[in-house]
Amino acid sequence: MDNKGPVQKTVVLEPFIKLVRLVARAFYDDYTTKSDNQQKTARSDNRGIAVVVLDELTRKQWVREEDLAKELKLHAKQLRKIIRHFEEQNLIMRDHRKETAKGAKMYSVAVAATTGGRAEDKVKFHTHSYCCLNYPQIYDIVRYKLHRMKKKLKDELEDKNTVQEYGCPNCQRKYNALDALRLISMEDDAFHCENCNSELVVECNKLTSEEVADGDDNARRRRREKLRDMLQKLEVQIKPLMDQINRVKDLPVPDFGSLIAWEARAAIAARENGELNPNDPLRSQGGYGSTPMPFLGETKVEVNLGEGKEDVTAKGGDSSLKVLPPWMIKQGMNLTEEQRGEMRQEAKVEDVGSSKLSDDKKSAMESGDAKDMLKDEYFKAYYAALIQQQQELAQKQRQEESGGEVVAPDMELASTSSERQVGMKSKREEEEDEWEEEPPVAVAGNGNYKVDLNVEAAEASGGEEEEEEDIDWEEG
Amino acid sequence: MFFHIVLERNMQLHPRFFGRNLRENLVSKLMKDVEGTCSGRHGFVVAITGIESVGKGLIRDGTAFVTFPVKYQCVVFRPFKGEILEAVVTLVNKMGFFAEAGPVQIFVSKHLIPDDMEFQAGDMPNYTTSDGSVKIQKECEVRLKIIGTRVDATEIFCVGTIKDDFLGVINDPAAAA
């Protein structure tokens, strides 16, 4: 049977399957669904059933438990018990869902895609359980299990870090060495129970419990020998398992993900392989993979448009800006706005210092910010205006700047189109939605432009560009 | 392990101490109250080394006692699991022996005493090696390792082991005498 579905192309499943099989034989071969008080007859002896179930699961990915039961010729209840046990052992993951026609379809498609098999088509639409081996977890769990086993034996062998326990033979109350101070009695050396005042005996919940722990030297030595023997045996017995774990260590772990994700992936993979499945649910109802595609196409057009224009205005834009990750967008935007603000101020200072003409221009520009309609009047008025007035307005302008940052996307558009006329903007506003959906490009554009602007501002100190920029700003 | 830390305590002072020596009285009362106590969080307060600050007193309604928030530096002793301590044996019995390291009591159970040491009952119960070269009895000093601590609100109790390299009797006054 083909274990590698089309989903896992790079991940090799075989070593992990072998690991699971070894684990099954090492730890679960005497697992029985019967509780201990039930009499075991030869007929009802179902030891090894857990191994069978695990083996079967290695051949599947996600599988409906009902189907699994049918394949193994097991009673569903019996199987569920075993599966629950494995779930508690963290070997498998389960998923329960209320079955719908769509879900069943998804599942059967996924099964067909991954195993080439065929899932039961007619399913009753009630809650179904699915299960799957959880390979990443199995790896960890097995290592942990082995570690604990070895540690327990070693600790016992060396009597290391073990707090001695005491028990009362009368009332079965348990104490440990940390209670010693309360237990010691004045009359004799022994520890006495707080309840019934009977003498406590040393508890021995050890593996070699048949021997009394406070026995003589001989008993102790025998116990140690036995422990050492056990440890050695353990080492030998788990060696193949350890080997397999070491082999698996550096391999990528196969992870099927949750049931839903697995189904989606399987369906997509099936389509990619050209297996045109007539009852592919993705095809008919636009499932997981289909929606983003048209969206991407649209934005791509948008991107080209933006970049083309950018190239006209800004030469040699820093390409590193364009690959901003999406979660950086907001920050990046703010940053650029801030930087622009700073640069503007610098330019202003220069203006004040250098020439009166530029001063006037500057002030005119600010008037444009305040009231677009009265631009010309302000031009004239500010020709005569004093520097003080201008500074007042500059403050006002700065406030507006900070306010404008809130309406970021719009403003971006405005500032991007430096050479474009105002009329141009209306067109761009139509596309605003797409712009917002693809912000990295917008930011990059903004950043590019900003760099350019600053250079110009520094050189020409308030040239024509700035004036136009301010007009746009006001609209933003 | 010892730590030098700053602790805070609200001291209630009787009005009869109000006077020139208020501060001295406050400090001496603080020492009397705090030194030698044990808190589960910080361990045993061994000594107060200095007063950081004495806050504003607040007169309690009805009693005329005044509460001062006092910040003080002190040395605390808190045993930790895995720590090596030197302790004096205080009691030996067939279950093991008890030892004291300053204010902290440590119990070493029999199975954490090296296997070659045997309990000898009698007038002076002790653990002795078969050749008699090492003897653990009352008053002798042992070096031990703490393997477990029980920290209550007002008490710390430890379980130790001498079953490790370089642990065991380090000085026996009875043998030396």
pLDDT at A7 over 70: no
A375 or A152: whose pLDDT is higher? A152
Q: How confident is the model at residue B47 (pLDDT cuts 50, 70, 90)?
A: very high
B129 touches chain A (CB under 8 A): no
Architecture of the structural domain at B2-77? 2-Layer Sandwich (3.30)
Amino acid identity for residue A204 in this structure: C
**Interchain contact, A161 vs B147, CB within 8 Å:** yes
> Is the pLDDT assigned to residue A221 strictly greater than 70?
yes
pLDDT score of A299: 42
Confidence (pLDDT) at B54? 93
Q: How many domains does chain A have?
A: 3
Asked if the structure places residue A243 within a domain, the reply is no
Mean pLDDT of A111-120: 64
Which of B95, B111, B159 has its CB closest to that of A159?
A: B111
Indicate the SS3 state at residue B106: strand
Residues 148-177 of B with CB under 8 A from A: 148-150, 157-159, 161, 163
Q: How far is A221 from chain B (nearest CA, A)?
A: 9
In this complex, is the C-beta atom of B98 within 8 Å of any C-beta atom belonging to chain A? yes
Domain with A127 in it: 14-142+251-271
Q: Is residue A427 part of a domain?
A: yes
Q: Is residue A278 part of a domain?
A: no
Q: Which two tokens stand for residue A458?
A: 């520094």
Helix-then-strand count for chain A, H and E: 21, 6
Residue A233: other Cβ atoms inside 10 A: 11
The fold of the B84-176 domain, in CATH, is OB fold (Dihydrolipoamide Acetyltransferase, E2P) (2.40.50)
Q: Is A6 a domain residue?
A: no
Contact B147 A163 (CB under 8 A): yes
Q: Which residue has the higher pLDDT, B77 or A390?
A: B77
Query: Does the beta-carbon distance from A180 to B115 stay under 8 Å?
Result: no
Assess whether pLDDT exceeds 50 at residue A4.
Answer: no
Q: Is residue A286 part of a domain?
A: no
Distance from CA of B107 to the nearest CA of A (A): 7
User: For residue A414, what pLDDT is reported?
Assistant: 43
CATH at A29:
1.10.10
A205 and A114 share one domain: no
Q: Residue A19: what pLDDT?
A: 87
Q: Say if A126 falls within a structural domain.
A: yes
- The mean predicted confidence, pLDDT, of chain A is 65
Calpha distance A330→A326 (Å, rounded): 8
Tens digits of residue pLDDT in A366-389: 544 545 555 666 666 666 676 777
pTM above 0.80, yes or no: no
* Confidence check: pLDDT of A310 > 50: no
Residues A446 and A354 in one domain: yes
Residues A64 and A194 both lie in one domain: no
**Is A133 a residue whose pLDDT tops 90?**
no
Q: Is residue A7 part of a domain?
A: no
pLDDT at A47 (0 to 100): 75
In sequence order, what are the beta bridge partners of B6? B73
User: Does A459 touch chain B if contact means CB atoms closer than 8 Å?
Assistant: no
Question: Is A443's pLDDT higher than 70?
Answer: no
Q: Does A186 touch chain B (CB under 8 A)?
A: no
The region of weakest confidence among A43-47, A60-64, B37-41, B89-93 is A43-47
Confidence band, pLDDT 50/70/90 cuts, at residue A77: confident
CA distance A181 to A177: 8
Residues B73 and B69: their CA atoms lie apart, in Å, by 13
Interface test with B, best of A189, A200, A201 (most B CBs within 10 A): A189
- As a whole number of angstroms, the distance between CA A114 and CA A110 comes to 6
Instruction: Specify the range with the lowest mean pLDDT, choosing from A112-116, A141-145, B9-13.
Output: A112-116
The yes-or-no verdict on residue A72 having pLDDT over 70 is: yes
Say yes or no to pLDDT of B46 above 90.
yes
Residue A121 lies in a domain: yes
Rounding to the nearest 10 degrees, give the CA dihedral for residues A248, A252, A253, A256. -150
Q: Which residue has the higher pLDDT, A422 or A161?
A: A161
**B2-77 matches B84-176 in fold:** no
Tell me which residue in B93, B107, B112 faces A181 most closely, judged by beta carbons.
B107
Q: Which residues of A touch B147 (CB under 8 A)?
A: 161-163
pLDDT band at B68; cut points 50, 70, 90:
very high
3-state class of A79 per DSSP?
A: helix
Higher per-residue pLDDT: B70 or A258: B70
- Cβ-in-10-Å burial (0-12, 13-18, 19+) of A13 comes to middle
* A222 and A257 belong to one structural domain: no
Find the range with the poorest average confidence among A188-202, A437-451, B52-66. Answer: A437-451
User: What residues of B are in contact with residue A157 (Cβ under 8 Å)?
Assistant: none
Check whether residue A188 and residue A301 sit in a common domain.
no
Of B109, B157, B161, Cβ closest to residue A181: B157
Q: Cβ of B159 and A180 within 8 Å?
A: yes
Asked whether residue B1 carries a pLDDT value surpassing 60, the answer given is: yes
Q: What is the pLDDT of residue A327?
A: 59
Mind listing the pLDDT tens digit for each residue in A15-27?
888 888 888 888 8
Comparing A455 with A258, which gets the higher pLDDT?
A258
- CB-based contact (8 Å) between B120 and chain A? no
φ/ψ (deg, to 5) at A474: -60, -40
Strand-pair partners of B99? B89, B106
Task: Select, from the ranges A4-8, A392-396, B96-100, the one with the highest average predicted confidence (pLDDT).
Answer: B96-100
| Per-residue pLDDT at A424 exceeds 80 | no
Q: Which residue of A has its CA nearest to B159?
A: A178
Residue A456, pLDDT score? 45
Residue-level pLDDT at A35: 53
Q: A155 in contact with B at a CB cutoff of 8 Å? A: no
pLDDT of residue A378: 61
Q: What's the whole-number average pLDDT of chain B?
A: 90
In this structure, of A170-174, A387-391, B48-52, the range with the lowest mean pLDDT score is A387-391
Domain boundary assignment for chain B: 2-77, 84-176
Q: Are residues A312 and A418 in the same domain?
A: yes
Q: How confident is the model at residue A90 (pLDDT cuts 50, 70, 90)?
A: confident
For residue A27, the model assigns a pLDDT of 85
pLDDT top residue among A332 and A53 = A53
Q: For residue A414, give the 3-state DSSP assignment.
A: helix
CA B132 to CA A104: how far, in whole Å?
Answer: 80
CB contact under 8 A, B111 and A184: no
Q: Return the number of CB contacts < 8 Å for A and B.
A: 66
Q: How confident is the model at residue B6 (pLDDT cuts 50, 70, 90)?
A: very high
A213 in contact with B at a CB cutoff of 8 Å? yes
Q: A179 contacts in B (CB within 8 Å)? A: 150
User: Which residue from B95, B109, B115 is facing A190, i.e. has the nearest CB?
Assistant: B95
- pLDDT tens-digit map of B115-160: 889 999 888 899 999 888 889 999 999 999 999 899 888 889 999 9
Residues A163 and A259 in one domain: no
Cβ contact B93–A181 (<8 Å): no
